[in-house]
Amino acid sequence: MITGLVTKAGLPASLGYLVYVGEVVAPLMVLFGLWARVGASIIAINMTDAIVLVHTGDFMKLNQTGGWELELQAMFLATAMAAALFGPELQYSRNSQSMELIHKMWITTARSVTTKEAQAQDMARVRQ
């Protein structure tokens, strides 16, 4: 079936077997973090091919509930592109200036709340 779609588009039938790489091997690469950016790139290419070969006629259609017909495919494509470009890991450095600023603001807020609570408790004791 997949090879039929590929040959119908004028491409060699052997390229149809690469779909299995894009739908089985590449997601496993992303899932296990083994060359995740490469796997995400393969998924993005695979989704682009799927949209062009199979879903071209659905590009401007709405589904039964009023949503875009290609919403799921677009979500997979956008997620794969984001993982390929930015990587799967979020890198927060504790040495960065922004993280230090956020940490100082959090500590200052926590101290001021604690100080206000302590002052309120002291005032309550004095009144008794």
15-74 pLDDT, tens digit each: 888 888 999 999 999 988 889 999 999 999 999 988 988 888 888 888 888 888 888 899
The confidence score (pLDDT) of residue 75 equals 92
Residue 40 vs residues 6, 28, 37, 43, 116: alpha-carbon distances, Å: 22, 10, 5, 5, 50
Report the distance separating Cα 107 and Cα 84, nearest Å.
36
Cβ of 87: how many Cβ atoms within 10 Å?
Answer: 12
Q: Residue 93 above 70 pLDDT?
A: no
The first and second tokens of residue 112, run together, are: 């001021």
Instruction: Note the pLDDT of residue 111.
Output: 64
Amino acid at 76: F
State the average pLDDT for the chain.
81
Rg from Cα positions in the chain: 26
The confidence score (pLDDT) of residue 28 equals 94
